[in-house]
Chain A
Amino acid sequence: MIELILTDRCTNCGACVEVCPTNVLDPSTSGPPVPARIEDCQTCFMCELYCAADAIYVAPDCDRRVTVSPDDVIASGRLGQYRRHSGWDEWADQFPNNQWLMELVFRRAGEAATKPAGTEQNSIP
Chain B
Amino acid sequence: MASSLLEPLSIKTDVLIVGGGMAGAWAATAAAKAGASVILAEKGYCGTSGVTAAAGPGHWWVPPDPPEARAAAVSNRIAAGLGLGEADWMHRILDQTWRTLPTLASHYKFGVDDEGRVNYRAVRGPEYMRALRQFVLSHGVMILDQSPVIELLARDDGSIGGARGLRRQQGGRLYEVETGAVVLAAGGTSFLSHLLGSRTNTGDGYLLAAEAGAEMSGMEFTAAYTIAPAHSTMTRSMAYSFASYYDADGRELDLPFGPDQTQRLARALLRGPVYCSLHKLPEDIKARLHTISPNVPLVFDRWSVDPYRGRFEVTLHNDGTIRGIGGVRVIDADCATSVPGLFVAGDNASREKVAGAISGGGNVNSAWALSSGVFAGKAAARLARGVRGGPARLQPLGQAGLRPRRQRKAIDLTAVQAGVRAEMHPYDKNLFRDGTALAASRRSLDDLWTELTDHALHDNIALREAAALVATARWSVSTSIRRTESRGMHHRKDYPAPDPNFAVRLLSGGFDRVWVAADQASVRVDELEATP
Interface of A toward B, CB cutoff 8 Å = 17-23, 40, 42-46, 49-50, 59-64, 78, 81-82, 85-87, 95-103, 105-106, 108-110, 112-113, 120-124
Contact = CB atoms under 8 A, between A and B. Distances in A.
B393 interface: no
B284 A109 contact: no
Contacts, number: 163
A21 B295 contact: no
Q: Which 8 A-B pairs have the closest CB atoms?
A: A109-B241, A21-B44, A42-B199, A100-B119, A85-B294, A100-B111, A21-B49, A60-B299
Contacts of B303: 60
Contacts of B44: 20-23
B301 A81 contact: yes
A43 B111 contact: no
B292 interface: yes
Contacts of B146: 18, 23
B124 interface: yes
Chief secondary structure at chain A's binding surface: loop
Contacts of B231: 60-64
Given A42-B198, A61-B232, A20 B45 contact: yes
Contacts of B50: 21
B308 interface: no
Contacts of B298: 45, 60, 78, 81-82
B396 interface: no
A108 to B, nearest CB: 7
B117 to A, nearest CB: 9
Contact of A99 (B56, B196, B232): B56
B487 to A, nearest CB: 24
A106 B233 CA distance: 21
Nearest to A121: B282
Contact of B295 (A17, A42, A82, A124): A82
B407 interface: no
Given A23-B44, A113-B257, A45 B232 contact: no
B295 A19 contact: no
A61 B305 CA distance: 13
B122 A102 contact: yes
B394 to A, nearest CB: 27
Interface string B282-296: 111100101111110
Interface in B241-255: 241-242
A86 to B, nearest CB: 5
B47 interface: yes
Contacts of B43: 21
A123 B234 contact: no
Given A22-B199, A60-B234, A100-B119, A124 B241 contact: no
A30 B36 CA distance: 44
A19 B127 CA distance: 14
B169 A50 contact: no
Contacts of A86: 124, 126-127, 294
Given A17-B169, A46-B126, A81-B298, 14 more contacts: A18-B145, A20-B45, A42-B194, A42-B197, A46-B48, A62-B233, A86-B127, A98-B288, A99-B119, A100-B121, A100-B122, A105-B285, A112-B257, A120-B280
